[in-house]
Amino acid sequence: MTHPRILVLGTGGTIAGAGASATAAAYQPGGLALETMLANLAALGLAADLAGQEVARIGSQDIGWPEWQALHAACTGALADPAITGVIITHGTDTAEETGFLLDLTLPAGKPIVLVGAMRPADAVGADGMRNFANAVRVVSDPAAAGRGVLLVMGDAVLAARDARKAATSSIDAFKSFPRGAIARVTPAGLDWFGPAHRVGESARFNWPQSLPRVAILTAGAGMDEQPVKALLGIGCKGVVLAGMGQGNAPACVLGALANAAASGVPVVRSTRVDEGIVDRNVEVDDDALGLVAARALGPAKARMLLMVLIANGITDAAQVQAAFDGEKV
Ligand code: ASP
């Protein structure tokens, strides 16, 4: 029987992390070359042919436009190559949320594209990376994984990149998923999807941009004033995401400054600094009057990625930006 052929795109992160010893706290993310990782994985006897391509060897806190461009191009090539079953991207967990959502917004929901990371370095006692990787291979090898958008495999769970976020700094069960929970449970011995693929045949929602604009996240805090908003506009931010209190609230002076920004053509999206929950329009904040956009289910990190993609595609009008956050095609 022929094995599925999987393109493995390495970016570094803790899954490729190397420490001073198996019990040391300090380690270097991306210390391990992808080639070495693949050699280690060969010992697992996975039923897949893995073809590696190293995009970067960095901690994902340093990821940005050059790596995203390379990942998007490699995924686009893999989607068009009939010999390739799917893609696994090894990635740091700090920004897996951003990379996963960016690719989800800009790639068709065809073959499976799975991000995988680890919370413990590859050479640490109780390392989780090999298991997560074996689980990712299992997911990509399953025809039922197609048509679900970009996925994240961590902690024996499969999460949609649209929903996933890092919610713990060091626990191996570090990811949460909102508004949907995990969409499948996976172990090296089994894979159970909790529902059918619902994005089969869906094309890319947005064109891949030429570049991404500067969009900042402003976290609201009690007693703050409007000067930080002015500072962000002063450094040329093309959009602002408010990580507001509760359902996207902020002191009146801050909302006033954000409304001025919106009136000057800088789109402003209200998200929340709260772990989880919907931010709806016109609840305590009069979005209609202030020209603001409600992030709905997207937390600040994902709201920023969507806003960057929208602005890069020339979409800055508040109603159109809101439509995109509502999940509509614009
Ligand atoms: N700082 C690391 C990274 O994101 C953490 C990890 O991978 O878990 O690359």
Question: Per DSSP, which regions of 4-150 are E strands?
Answer: 5-12, 18-19, 27-28, 49-58, 86-90, 113-116
Q: Which CATH superfamily includes the segment(s) 5-193? A: L-asparaginase, N-terminal domain (3.40.50.1170)
pLDDT per residue as tens digits for the range 98-153: 999 999 999 999 999 999 999 999 989 999 999 999 999 999 999 999 999 999 99
Give the three-state DSSP class for 50. strand
pLDDT per residue as tens digits for the range 28-45: 899 999 999 999 988 888
Is 14 annotated in the active site? Answer: yes
How far is the centre of ligand 1, averaged over its atoms, from the C-alpha of 231 (Å)?
30
How far is the centre of ligand 1, averaged over its atoms, from the C-alpha of 112 (Å)?
23
- Does this model's pTM top 0.85? My answer is yes
- The hierarchical CATH code for the domain 215-325 is 3.40.50.40
Q: Going residue by residue through the chain (330 aa), what tens digit of pLDDT does each one get?
A: 689 999 999 999 999 998 888 898 999 899 999 999 999 988 888 999 999 999 999 999 999 999 999 999 999 999 999 999 999 999 999 999 999 999 999 999 999 999 999 999 998 999 999 999 999 999 999 999 999 999 999 999 999 999 999 999 999 999 999 999 999 999 988 999 999 999 999 999 999 999 999 999 999 999 999 999 999 999 999 999 999 999 999 999 999 999 999 999 999 999 999 999 999 999 999 999 999 999 999 999 999 999 999 999 999 999 999 999 999 766
Q: Which residues contact 160 (CB under 8 A, 6 or more apart)?
A: 104, 148, 149, 150, 151, 152, 177, 180, 183
Q: State which of 61, 63, 115 you would mutate to test the pocket of ligand 1, scoring each by most atoms of that ligand within 8 A of its C-beta.
A: 61
Q: State which of 93, 95, 119, 170 you would mutate to test the pocket of ligand 1, scoring each by most atoms of that ligand within 8 A of its C-beta.
A: 93
Task: Tell me whether the omega of the peptide bond preceding residue 112 falls within 30 degrees of 0, making it cis.
Answer: no
How far is the centre of ligand 1, averaged over its atoms, from the C-alpha of 160 (Å)?
19
As for ligand 1, residues whose beta carbon falls within 6 Å of it are: 13-14, 29, 59-61, 92-94, 117, 119
Q: Which residues contact 180 (CB under 8 A, 6 or more apart)?
A: 160, 163
Neighbours of 122 (CB within 10 A): 22
d(CA 132, CA 157): 9
Same fold, 5-193 and 215-325: yes
How far is the centre of ligand 1, averaged over its atoms, from the C-alpha of 127 (Å)?
14
Domain range list for the chain:
5-193, 215-325
